[in-house]
């Protein structure tokens, strides 16, 4: 599936400031970004440049100080807290660097968790979970607990959890940062497959040029501004 001409994600003149005592920290300054449907975008930049802040704004985990964040027809920054929770459950899948799996639950129960916020019955949830495990190639490990899985397998479970609701956008924050190169390459290949074969729109924060090379486009963030060229 090729990206459409109409951007799915539209970040317009976004500013994000934080207070540190009496000091105001300007993290993002009048930032604009458009991401097309079915695009795989890598977001790079030095530590502290605001990459994760931008990802949190897109995912509705944070609100801009000014400007607008729009996903499809939804103005995310205008939603109430209650509306945001329901919107995230339907439209956003998160993949974290450190997996964030609950150790007391099996892999399949970890993946099922987002579905508990939906109106699906138990049988429907099981079908969705099975499809997610098949998509990440981990069906034979579904009943294992996180402690018995390798780092790469745990990240696959994390990706299965992120896609089980068929979200509009997949947000990945350093998804290979805790993995060795071989396991990391397998995760990147999986993300490429989800993008190319299933049409998933993916925005990935990474510090690794090897990872960003797997994306269809890379943008660079520094001092609150985006550029199409690497930061000097």
Alpha carbons 148 and 127: distance in angstroms, whole number: 24
pLDDT-derived band at 31 (thresholds 50, 70, 90) equals very high
pLDDT digits (tens, 9 = 90+) for 112-171: 999 998 888 999 999 999 999 999 999 999 999 999 999 999 999 999 999 999 999 999
* DSSP3 helix / strand / coil % (the chain, rounded to 5): 40, 30, 35
Residue 145 structure tokens: 């607990």
Domain locations in the chain as residue ranges: 37-62+81-227
pLDDT-derived band at 3 (thresholds 50, 70, 90) equals very low
User: Which pLDDT belongs to residue 56?
Assistant: 94
pLDDT-derived band at 48 (thresholds 50, 70, 90) equals confident
Average pLDDT, the chain: 92
User: Which of 154, 167, 169, 170 shows the shortest CA–CA distance to 99?
Assistant: 154
Q: Cβ neighbours of residue 226 under 8 Å, at least 6 residues apart? A: 31, 32, 33, 219, 220
Alpha carbons 7 and 12: distance in angstroms, whole number: 12
Determine what percent of the chain is predicted with pLDDT higher than 90.
78
CA distances 66 to 14, 79, 220, Å, are 6, 14, 21
Model pTM score: 0.92
For residue 6, pLDDT beyond 90: no
- Cβ proximity of 161 and 114 under 8 Å: yes
Lateral strand order in the sheet of 23-36 = 23-36, 7-20, 66-71, 74-75
For residue 19, pLDDT beyond 50: yes
Task: For domain 37-62+81-227, give its CATH number from 3.40.50.300, 3.40.50.970, 3.30.420.40, 3.40.50.720.
Answer: 3.40.50.300
User: Which of 115, 99, 205, 211 shows the shortest CA–CA distance to 153?
Assistant: 99
Alpha carbons 140 and 122: distance in angstroms, whole number: 20
What does R_g of the chain's alpha carbons equal in angstroms?
A: 18
Residue 3 DSSP code: P
Q: Cβ neighbours of residue 54 under 8 Å, at least 6 residues apart? A: 11, 14, 28, 31, 33, 43, 221
pLDDT-derived band at 2 (thresholds 50, 70, 90) equals very low
At residue 104, the 3 state secondary structure works out as coil
- Cβ atoms < 10 Å from Cβ of 8: 18
pLDDT digits (tens, 9 = 90+) for 56-105: 999 999 999 999 999 999 999 999 999 998 899 899 999 998 889 999 99
Determine what percent of the chain is predicted with pLDDT higher than 70.
97
């Amino acid at each position: 599936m090729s990206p459409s001409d109409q951007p799915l994600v539209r970040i317009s003149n976004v500013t994000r400031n934080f207070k540190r005592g009496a000091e105001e920290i300007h993290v993002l300054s009048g930032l604009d970004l458009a991401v097309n449907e079915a695009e795989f975008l890598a977001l790079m930049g030095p530590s502290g440049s605001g990459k994760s802040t931008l990802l949190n704004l897109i995912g509705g985990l944070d609100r801009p100080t000014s400007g607008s964040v729009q996903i499809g027809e939804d103005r995310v920054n205008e939603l109430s807290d209650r509306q945001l929770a329901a919107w995230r459950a339907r439209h956003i899948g998160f993949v974290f660097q450190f997996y964030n799996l609950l150790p007391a639950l099996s892999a399949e129960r970890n993946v099922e968790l987002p579905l508990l916020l939906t109106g699906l019955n138990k049988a429907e949830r099981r079908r969705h979970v099975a499809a997610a495990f098949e998509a990440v190639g981990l069906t034979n490990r579904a009943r294992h607990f996180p402690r018995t899985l390798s780092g790469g397998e745990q990240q696959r479970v994390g990706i299965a959890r992120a896609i089980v609701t068929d979200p509009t956008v997949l947000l990945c924050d350093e998804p290979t940062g805790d993995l060795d190169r071989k396991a990391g390459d397998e995760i990147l290949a999986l993300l490429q497959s989800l993008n190319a074969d299933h049409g998933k729109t993916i925005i990935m924060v990474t510090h690794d040029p090897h990872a960003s090379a797997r994306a269809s486009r890379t943008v660079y963030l520094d001092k609150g501004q985006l550029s199409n060229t690497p930061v000097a």
